[in-house]
Structure 1
Amino acid sequence: MNNPSATRVLVIGYVWPEPRSSAAGGHMMQILESFLTQGWEITFGSPAAIGEHKADLGALGIRECAIELNNSSFDEFIRELAPDIVLFDRFMMEEQFGWRVEKQCPDALRVLETSDLQSLRDARQQRLKDYLKDHPAADDFGPLFAPALDAEFQLMADTDLAKREIAAIYRCDISLMISDVEIQLLTEHFKVPAALLHWCPLMVAPATEAFVPYEDRAHFLSIGNFRHAPNWDTVLWMKNGIWPLIRQRLPGAQLHIYGAYTPPKATALHNPAQGFHVMNWAEDALQVMSGARICLAPLRFGAGIKGKLADGMLCGTPSITTPIGAEGMTDEQPWPGLIAQSATALADAAVALYQDRQAWTEAQEHGRLLLAQRYSASLHGPALVERLQHCRDELAQHRRNNFTGSMLRHHLHKSTQYMAQWIEAKNRTR
């Protein structure tokens, strides 16, 4: 931190980034790399415990600082740092620290990294639970994947989580949205001004090495952090509904399931006799993805866009997924694999693509083109920096135009401030 003219950025992380454990961690690292290319000075702080797969931010020249919830020590810390930009990783961090940032550094640009709309994901999870309650032997989940955005709005609108999350979006100057479908939902149905949102999808560089060919690959792969509820639901659906159908057609096939923080309930599903292998964490996700012939990602609920499917494209591994899995990932481009809505159709698609070399090779090429057209780091990184700089230049007028956000900050920050100060005072008396 020795260049007084460099833009200073403080990132307040919900967790310490783990790019090899989750797509959210990977996306955060892509954002940080976009800032580093500009010569910006970055400090990353989090109140979370350090996970076992945490990225080495210090090696990138990023300062790391532990911060505390409900503690005025943060006020002195941020006042001394005097950041030009503060990025909140998830809306819960804006709720906790937003009022302190505004009080100590009122001119700092406040940015929210949403990762995905948690309120949308949770509403879809509840819809799945209700559907399974009414249809315990369901095979086809098409009714869950069909709703228009207005139906999603109706599902979310009365929930406390949506009110909290969208209020945080209003209170920030810019919110980074990984899915353009979620931008459409927010602008058209929640009436969030487009000026408060910026599309910032996964940002990747194109593959420079030749893909592992069809003949040198074998088996199916599924990957994802087990702490993420959609991933655990996917594992259960594969175990009980989809994988037995695939094994009937391909008796020698194997499914390798990788994921960080594997719980005992997942390892209990490991059954080599059924070709169902729970492999725990993959130190190099791209390496294991490159050796698989098919990536299985039959998600029944979720939000945002899926890092595992982007990794599949990056490795030339076609994927079998649902409309939820593919949501927000294409824009008229062909899907690099197949999309289906029922266990039977997903199994049929997986078997067909696994055995058809020509169709598999075409799907691989579709993935290469989709990454280049939609997820280029050389395009989205500079676009993000340009948007933030423009917002900083027009900050006073930008905030004037967002009266709703100003009003929400006034009321919520007062109540949050008093609650935090009460908790801090209570902690001192212990």
Structure 2
Amino acid sequence: MSISLADVRFQWQRALGLIRRGMASLRMRGWQATWQRVRRQLRRAPASQRAKLYFPAEAPFAPFTVPDSDKPRASIVVPVYNQVAHTLTCLRALAGHPPLAACEILVVDDGSSDQTQEWMAQVAGLHFHRRAHNGGFIAACNDGAARARGEVLVFLNNDTVPQPGWLDALLDTFDALPDVGLVGAQLIYPDGRLQEAGGVVFSDGSAWNYGRFESPEDPRYASLRDADYCSGAAIAIPRALFESLNGFDTRYAPAYYEDTDLAFSVRAAGKRVLYQPASRVVHLEGITSGTDLNQGPKAYQVRNRELFERKWRDALSAFPAPGVSPTPTPATAHAHQRQILIVDEAVPQPDRDSASLRLFNLIKMLCHENAHVVFLATEHAPPPQALAALQALGVEVWYPPFSQSPPAWLSSHGPRFSVVLACRYHLAEKILPLTRKHAPQARFVLDTIDLHYLRESRAAELAGNAALAKAALQTRQRELSVVAAADTTLVVSGTEREVLTKDAPASKVEVLSNLHEVAGPGLPFAQRRDLVFVGGFRHTPNVDAVRWFVQDVFPLLRPRLPDAVFHCIGGDVPDSISALAQEGVVIHGHMPSLEAAMNGMRVAVAPLRFGAGVKGKVNLSMAHGQPVVATLCAVEGMHLQDGVDVLVADDARAFADAVVRLYSDEALWNRLARNGLENVARHFSLDAARETVRKIFL
């Protein structure tokens, strides 16, 4: 491949620009911060990071088709000036992985002299507009916005390669958070390193690319977050809002600082500006404008900073001043929020167990209260889906290998937290001393999930096992020791609070029960059929419950309900449970979605013979209008009354009779379904827990 004089000139000017930027960094930040920046820039990205990115195959131009809709939700505006090869790559990426959302693509040609007009005319579905003369980036974007039909405007540079799902992630943000006015994508270098995770602005109007040259998966940059601004290379804004702000401010023409100015205008209009890492866009920084601040289009960056500072001087007075080492950290990025640390061995997987669902909904409540939640997983790297669910809430999730060891991590991060919550006593007894040392200002909260020693002692009593009873006493001593040392202990029921009132009278104990969204009634009685049990099998009470139901109860009800099938749903199925499968008994294992089972099956069973805490399986069914037959142990502490909200039976014959009765009596079924929904709303909904959560954490 031959190298032209223009290529050499570009590379030389780029090198000079980097040198000048380095000298400016030395003057502003000092040699240490500058050296760290240079090291990050020169550090090679792992090959695996580059391998995760999508790039369309290089090929000579040939006509192709891009997505287009008569009723677009989003209008993608791509301003271009020459660089047709990059425009082609961008459009091929959009065509290669079309968004799920209806969209239109508008290419605004700002007076190109290359093949832009010739090639764009041959791209089917593309809306192409050629401006009469070159006016710069701002003029081209405003022209494109004026021609757009979509509800949301998406401005996309032509030197980008949008990754699969990028647009839908931006649009989903507006759906999830109605107070959002502008959303920016995560920008990535072609080698896989992070280019920008939202921008940071200082009081003099200067700006910083948060996360530059780091890993896109680094917990500091991988969650939804408010940003001072987002680079105009890939941003979305409702068209009505953009028009009400009169578009990009033309005082910054031809380019630079218009995106920062827009973000400030959006906030001034009472809306949020968010960085969305689930929207990933590769950006070839500097292709169009170069990097030299002293000449060419890039020189406007210096002039426009002064214009921006004058316009927003009052607002900028609340922003931090640039320092010797102004690199932002999570502590400074979230300094305006109450920061809460939650520690568990693994991230919650709300589709697998009730404890995870409760914790996930607690985190959701804290985020809605504008707290910044940090989650530290001490043992296990999270499954991608569970990790993404937390990050979509704005949770800063740390896990191996990013988190180092808990002592080292807490030493670095401890000072920023107001509250530290540790899940289960055996983890809390290790985390509590570290918290007292590295976060002495933080209130320490123990979340028992359930009282382990209570559950173990009941299991020992049911089995008549002296060794289990001795182990339960040891657990009691350890668990009560942590309860005594914690500032606050959370239990899930009034029953367990009464136990601790007796066993740990000097401790502060609060009830924070299961947390459920009330889903609604589901299908009516006549359209439902079969029986269902939901519960993960790492929890030993569930193993015993299913074994007892299939072996002792099911044979008594099968002759009376010959067409009813028992569905057993839950992950980590042991061989002893798999062996129970037979005619009329289906062992499903884990099911990612329970909607069909909850909304379409007639009766849920909770045949637990020992345990502690509040049973999420009972709440889950009632939240979907699905009546429950349960043991006395299964409804303990749940404000339920036999025959009013639930049917309760403890021996096999009575349990079978209750199932047959509820399965056959439509009036009884309707009464229990209605009362169960009301019980969940009154005692186990997010609204019911809100004041308790505020008292403990905020």
Q: TM-score range by the shorter chain?
A: 0.7 to 0.9
Paired residue secondary structure (1:29): helix
Could you tell me how far apart the structure 2 residues matched to 1:383 and 1:346 are? 36
SS in 2 for 1:44: strand
Match in the other structure for 2:492: 178
Matched with 1:63 is: 396
1:158 Cα deviation from its structure 2 partner: 7.4
Counterpart among 556, 579, 601 of residue 292 in structure 1? 601
Pair 1:378-2:687 in alignment: yes
Q: CA deviation at 1:336?
A: 2.4
Alignment-derived partner of residue 73 in structure 1: 408
Structure 1 residues 214 and 332, CA, compared in 2 at 3 Å: closer, same or farther?
closer
**SS of aligned partner of 1:295:** strand
Q: Does 1:388 align with 2:697?
A: yes
> What's the TM-score, normalizing by structure 1?
0.79
Letter of the 2:462 counterpart: L
Question: Aligned equivalents of 1:341 and 1:262: distance in 2?
Answer: 25
How much does 1:76 deviate? 2.8
**SS of residue matched to 2:433:** helix
Q: How does 1:211-250 map to 2 (within 5 A)?
A: 211-250=522-561
One-letter identity of the residue aligned with 2:429: E
Aligned to 2:629: 320
Query: 1:281 matched to which residue of 2?
Result: 590
Greater C-alpha Rg: 2
Which residue does 1:88 correspond to in 2?
422
What's the secondary structure of 1:253's corresponding residue?
Answer: coil
Alpha-carbon distance in 2 for matches of 1:103, 1:174: 18
Pairwise CA distance, 1:387: 3.4
State the SS of the aligned residue for 2:464.
Answer: helix
CA RMSD of aligned residues (A): 2.2
| Aligned twin of 1:110 | 444
* Corresponding letter in the other structure for 1:181: T
State the shift of 1:263 in Å. Answer: 2.8
Instruction: Report if the CA contact (8 A) 2:521-2:599 is conserved.
Output: no
Deviations 1:209-249 (A, max 9, x none): 54310000000001100110010101110121011111021
SS in structure 2 opposite 1:32? helix
Partner residue, 1:338: 647
Worse-superposed segment, 261-270 or 335-344: 261-270
Displacement of 1:57 in angstroms is 1.1
- How far has the Cα of 1:267 moved from its partner? 2.0
Letter in 1 for 2:358: H
CA contact (8 A) 1:316 1:364 kept: yes
CA distances 1:282-340 after superposition (whole Å, capped 9, x unpaired)? 21123312111100111000100011100111111111111100101016686423101
Residue 330 of structure 1: SS of its match in structure 2? Answer: coil
1:9 is aligned, of 337, 340, 347, to: 340
Name the structure with the higher strand share.
2
The letter of the residue matching 1:159 is: L
Q: Which residue of 2 aligns with 1:23?
A: 354
How many Å separate the matches in 1 of 2:624 and 2:585? 22
**Is the contact made by 1:12 and 1:88 (CA closer than 8 Å) also made in structure 2?**
yes
Query: Take 1:241 and 1:32, find their aligned partners in 2: how far apart are those partners?
Result: 40
Q: Normalising by structure 2, report the TM-score.
A: 0.49
Structure number with higher relative contact order (C-alpha < 8 Å, ≥ 6 residues apart): 1
Contact 1:286 1:311 in 2 (8 A): no
The partner residue of 1:192 within 505, 508, 513 is 505
1:285 alignment partner AA: L
2:665 to 351, 356, 364: 356
For residue 536 of structure 2, give the secondary structure of its aligned residue in structure 1: coil
User: Partners in 2 of 1:294 and 1:100 — Cα distance?
Assistant: 47
2: CA distance, partners of 1:40 / 1:339: 41
Q: For 2:439 and 2:647, how far apart are their aligned partners in 1?
A: 49
Cα deviation, residue 37, structure 1: 1.2
Q: Which amino acid aligns with 1:113?
A: D
Give the counterpart letter for 1:58 in structure 2.
Q
1:9 Cα deviation from its structure 2 partner: 0.9
Aligned residue for 2:637, secondary structure, equals coil
In the alignment, is residue 166 of structure 1 matched against residue 166 of structure 2? no
Does the CA contact (< 8 Å) of 2:535 and 2:570 recur in 1?
yes
Once residues 444 and 493 of structure 2 are traced to their aligned partners in structure 1, the CA distance between those partners, rounded to angstroms, is 20
Work out whether residues 290 and 315 of structure 1, in 8 Å CA contact, stay in contact via their aligned partners in 2: yes
Alpha-carbon distance, 1:197 to partner: 0.8
Cα 1:268/1:157, change in 2 over 3 Å = closer
Q: Any idea what the Cα deviations from partners look like across 1:13-53, whole Å, max 9, x if unmatched?
A: 13220111111001101211121111111110112224657
* Alignment-mate amino acid for residue 212 of structure 1: L
Matched position secondary structure for 1:203: coil
Distance in 1 (alpha carbons) for counterparts of 2:630 and 2:516: 21
Change over 3 Å in CA distance of 1:347–1:221 after alignment to 2:
same
Of 434, 438, 442 in structure 2, the residue corresponding to residue 100 of structure 1 is 434
> Which consecutive residues of structure 2, in runs of 5 or more, have no partner in the other structure?
1-329
* 1:69-105 per-position Cα deviation (integer Å, ceiling 9, x unaligned): 97642343334x6211111011112111211110111
The within-5 A match list for 1:138-177 is 159-177=473-491
- Kept in 2, the 8 Å contact 1:353–1:359? The answer is yes
More helix by share: 1
In the other structure, the counterpart of 2:513 is 201
1:36 paired residue number: 367
CA 1:255/1:331 → structure 2, altered by over 3 Å: closer, same or farther?
A: closer
In the other structure, the counterpart of 1:121 is 455
Q: Alignment length, in residue pairs?
A: 361
> For residues 372 and 69 of structure 1, do their structure 2 counterparts lie closer, same or farther at Cα, with a shift above 3 Å needed?
same
Q: Is the 8 A contact 1:16 1:48 kept in 2?
A: no
- 8 A Cα contact 1:47 1:69, kept in partner: no
Aligned residues of 1:10 and 1:44 also touching (Cα < 8 A)? yes
SS of residue matched to 1:11 = strand
Q: Give the match's secondary structure for 1:54.
A: helix
1:177-203 deviations in Å (ceiling 9; x for gaps): 11110001110x214236x11111122
Structure 1 alignment gaps of length 5 or more: 134-154, 390-430
Paired AA for residue 488 in structure 2 = I
Q: Which residue of 2 aligns with 1:405?
A: none
Q: Is the 8 A contact 2:644 2:671 kept in 1?
A: no
Residues 51 and 295 of structure 1: is their aligned pair in 2 closer, same or farther, counting only changes over 3 Å?
A: farther
1:78–1:101 Cα contact (<8 Å) kept: no
Q: Using the TM superposition, give the Cα deviation of residue 276 of structure 1 relative to its aligned residue in structure 2, in angstroms.
A: 0.7
Q: Contact 2:640–2:646 (CA<8 Å) still a contact in 1?
A: no
Q: Distance in 2 between matches of 1:319 and 1:340?
A: 11
Which amino acid is 1:54 matched to?
Answer: A
